């Protein structure tokens, strides 16, 4: 196989090549001193998968695109909110501008039931509403297909407080090291409806973006998505209002607000013959470390634009925003709460990048492509966000340090695969398929690369898929069809095995004298090719569900190249009997 991602002999890569050589030398020693089983083995799958979560009425209403939701398409959100930090209380309104996709007299929006709904207004009328779990159903006068309309929702309340952000959604009411208020919010999975009313489904982003005005205590600086348009003061009430604007479609859970004693850290990036600005925000006592540590964001952006196409949000800017939790991929306002250290992150996984990048900074920036630009049509396909982000990490390591170091990175990651559930879950149930979508999703991409066995085709598939679907919504089936169209090979059975069952395929094999026997224990029709080494010579075989054999010289040394393919290996002497029968 030809590995074309890394240009070893380019003069600019000499330093990287020396560093890569040193790391790979250490890896050889390390691998030799550790058992392969302890280092590389993923969890063995149970015979039967675990059950997906039972569908609740709340998740049915949030997850399904019922007629009361499909009848309108959101064009713009105008959010206006007063945040009382001392009382942990918010009050405000949201204007939703939309177009009617069908004639309707009733629509649904979503707002957490613990939040008080003060009224819904359209054409100076206070409309009748009914609440069911976190869904609100509104009775409208006749709205005709093609009509553009705007309605206002007024509300208030104490939003849910996040217990373990960003994994548990809600507001994060913290104090900084000086004991000053330090506030943020994260709500992926739990829903933006925890703190503002909206059509809370991943498939409907506001086509024309959003405008957010937050009124906060005057001593705090407010950071949100996009560009800062205005700051106004209310001297009497000791408050300031900050208006931010996003001009592009944006995932609902990406709209965010951060409050603190922030200062701006300006930087510039040269790309495509032009200069763009990066405007980070950090706590005042971290200005110096941020000015140095955040420089690496430019290298990360250059990598992604090279391999996945242009950053889609330059008119809304790019910034990193310091927060008290680990971080999130809030579009054009990526939050960062790691340890300002490429080697010692707040969580261990953020430090396993050989010192070349801050893993948290890289992963959350990866979502500006995989997640924010190329978005899953339903959270059941969350591997498109998380698996592709982790695979991007592997690609970056290969780009910087070479193929062998990338393989070491993925082998270390492979230990985290649990194999308890299929990666792709049930659609229309508000099921956010996290879990194995990260590492197993990345390993499936790594496997597909080696199945296709042509790096030029493979990396062109990834980039063109990202470019062709920028600012769009996709599913697993969309990616499958794209791969089929660009390779001419039907990978449907392979995709079914890896994405829709919980078990990776098992290669059963046995070496006997001058014969090597093998077959796949997998779904019906599975015939994925793999590579083996026979006495150090790479050879491709195409196992099926039936026993096959190849002739080898006696006492040949055979290695199945499981560092290229996600599979379980099983040495099975009974294959001789199966072959004989």
What is residue 41's predicted lDDT score, i.e. its pLDDT? Answer: 82
Residue 516 has pLDDT above 60, yes or no: yes
Look up residue 559 and give its two tokens.
């290695």
Q: Which domains does the chain have, with CATH numbers?
A: 11-41+377-500 (1.10.390.10), 506-580 (2.60.40)
- Mean pLDDT for all residues in the chain: 93
Residue 105 has pLDDT above 90, yes or no: yes
Query: If pLDDT is split at 50, 70 and 90, which confidence band does 241 have?
Result: very high
Please indicate whether residue 486 or residue 2 has the higher confidence score (pLDDT).
486
Whole-angstrom distance, CA of residue 488 vs CA of residue 504: 24
Look up residue 300 and give its two tokens.
């990360």
Whole-angstrom distance, CA of residue 492 vs CA of residue 3: 25
Judge contact between 224 and 134, C-beta under 8 A: no
Query: If pLDDT is split at 50, 70 and 90, which confidence band does 281 have?
Result: very high
With a CB cutoff of 8 Å and minimum separation 6, the contacts of 80 are 92, 93, 94, 95, 213
CA atoms in the 13 A half-sphere facing the CB of 451: 23
What is residue 350's predicted lDDT score, i.e. its pLDDT? Answer: 84
The rounded percent of the chain whose pLDDT value lies above 70 is: 93
Q: pLDDT tens-digit profile of 58-83? A: 999 999 999 999 999 999 999 999 99
Q: pLDDT tens-digit profile of 252-268? A: 999 999 999 999 999 99
What is residue 358's predicted lDDT score, i.e. its pLDDT? Answer: 96
Residue 35 has pLDDT above 90, yes or no: no
The rounded percent of the chain whose pLDDT value lies above 90 is: 90
- Report the pLDDT averaged over residues 387-406: 98
Whole-angstrom distance, CA of residue 513 vs CA of residue 515: 6
With a CB cutoff of 8 Å and minimum separation 6, the contacts of 150 are 95, 96, 97, 98, 122
What is residue 484's predicted lDDT score, i.e. its pLDDT? Answer: 98
Short-list 539, 565, 308, 540, CA closest to 448: 565
Whole-angstrom distance, CA of residue 365 vs CA of residue 333: 10
pTM of the shown model: 0.92
What is residue 509's predicted lDDT score, i.e. its pLDDT? Answer: 98
What is residue 8's predicted lDDT score, i.e. its pLDDT? Answer: 35
What is residue 40's predicted lDDT score, i.e. its pLDDT? Answer: 62
3-state secondary structure (DSSP) of residue 137: strand
Q: pLDDT tens-digit profile of 447-472? A: 999 999 999 999 999 999 999 999 99
- Report the pLDDT averaged over residues 470-481: 98
Short-list 365, 368, 496, 384, CA closest to 437: 384
- Report the pLDDT averaged over residues 286-311: 98
Local structure of residue 85 (DSSP, 8 states): T
Mind giving me the DSSP string for 403-421? HHHHHHHHHHHHTT---SS
What is residue 228's predicted lDDT score, i.e. its pLDDT? Answer: 98
Whether the link from the prior residue into 166 is cis, omega within 30° of 0, is yes
Q: φ and ψ at 336, to 5 degrees?
A: -135, 125
What is residue 551's predicted lDDT score, i.e. its pLDDT? Answer: 97
What is residue 580's predicted lDDT score, i.e. its pLDDT? Answer: 66
What is residue 490's predicted lDDT score, i.e. its pLDDT? Answer: 97
Query: If pLDDT is split at 50, 70 and 90, which confidence band does 197 have?
Result: very high
């Amino acid at each position: 196989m030809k590995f074309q991602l890394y240009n070893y002999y380019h003069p600019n890569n000499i330093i990287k090549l020396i560093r890569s050589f040193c790391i790979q030398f250490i890896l050889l020693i390390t691998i030799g001193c550790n058992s392969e089983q302890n280092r590389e083995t993923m969890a063995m799958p149970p015979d039967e998968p675990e059950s997906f979560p039972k569908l609740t009425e709340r998740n049915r209403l949030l997850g399904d695109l019922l007629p009361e939701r499909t009848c309108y398409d959101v064009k713009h959100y105008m959010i206006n909110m007063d945040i009382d930090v001392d009382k942990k209380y918010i009050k405000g309104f949201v204007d939703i501008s939309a177009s009617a996709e069908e004639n309707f007299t009733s629509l649904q929006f979503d707002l957490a039931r613990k939040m008080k709904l003060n009224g819904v207004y359209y054409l100076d009328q206070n409309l009748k509403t009914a609440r069911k779990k976190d869904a609100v159903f509104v009775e409208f006068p006749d709205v005709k297909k093609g009509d553009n309309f705007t309605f206002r929702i007024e509300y208030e309340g104490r939003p849910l407080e996040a217990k373990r952000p960003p994994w548990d959604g809600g507001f994060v009411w913290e104090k900084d090291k000086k004991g000053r208020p330090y506030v943020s919010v994260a709500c992926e999975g739990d829903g933006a409806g925890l703190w503002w009313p909206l059509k809370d489904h991943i498939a409907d982003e506001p086509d024309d973006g959003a405008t957010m005005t937050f009124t906060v205590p005057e001593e705090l600086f407010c950071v949100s998505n996009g560009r800062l348009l205005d700051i106004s003061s209310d001297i009497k009430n000791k408050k300031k209002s900050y208006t931010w604007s996003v001009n592009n479609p944006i995932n609902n859970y990406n709209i965010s607000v951060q409050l603190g004693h922030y200062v701006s850290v300006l930087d510039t990036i040269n790309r495509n013959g032009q200069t763009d600005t990066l405007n980070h925000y950090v706590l005042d006592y971290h200005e110096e470390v941020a000015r140095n540590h955040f420089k690496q964001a430019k290298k990360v952006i250059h990598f992604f634009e090279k391999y996945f196409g242009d950053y889609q949000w330059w008119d809304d800017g790019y910034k990193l925003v310091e927060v008290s939790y680990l971080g999130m991929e809030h579009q054009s306002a990526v939050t960062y709460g790691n340890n300002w250290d490429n080697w010692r992150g707040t969580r261990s996984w953020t430090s396993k990048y050989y010192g070349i990048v801050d893993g948290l900074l890289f992963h959350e920036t990866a979502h500006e492509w995989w997640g924010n630009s190329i978005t899953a049509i339903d959270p059941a396909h969350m591997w498109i966000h998380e698996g592709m982000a982790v695979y991007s990490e592997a690609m970056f390591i290969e780009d910087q340090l070479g193929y062998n170091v990338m393989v070491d990175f993925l082998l270390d990651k492979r230990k985290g695969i649990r194999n308890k559930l299929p990666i792709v879950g049930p659609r229309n149930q508000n099921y956010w398929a996290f879990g194995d979508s990260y590492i197993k999703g990345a390993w499936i991409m790594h496997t597909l690369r080696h199945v296709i066995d042509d790096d030029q085709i493979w990396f062109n598939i990834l980039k063109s898929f990202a470019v062709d679907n920028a600012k769009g919504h996709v599913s697993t089936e969309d990616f499958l069809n794209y791969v089929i169209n660009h390779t001419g090979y039907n990978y449907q059975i392979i995709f079914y095995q890896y994405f829709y069952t919980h078990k990776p395929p098992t290669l059963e094999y046995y070496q006997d004298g001058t014969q090597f026997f093998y077959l796949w224990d997998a779904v019906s029709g599975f015939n994925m090719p793999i590579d083996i080494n026979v006495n150090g010579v790479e050879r491709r075989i195409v196992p099926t569900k039936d026993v096959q054999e190849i002739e080898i010289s006696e006492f040949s040394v055979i290695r199945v190249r499981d560092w290229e393919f996600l599979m379980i290996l099983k040495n099975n002497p009974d294959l001789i009997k199966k072959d004989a029968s």
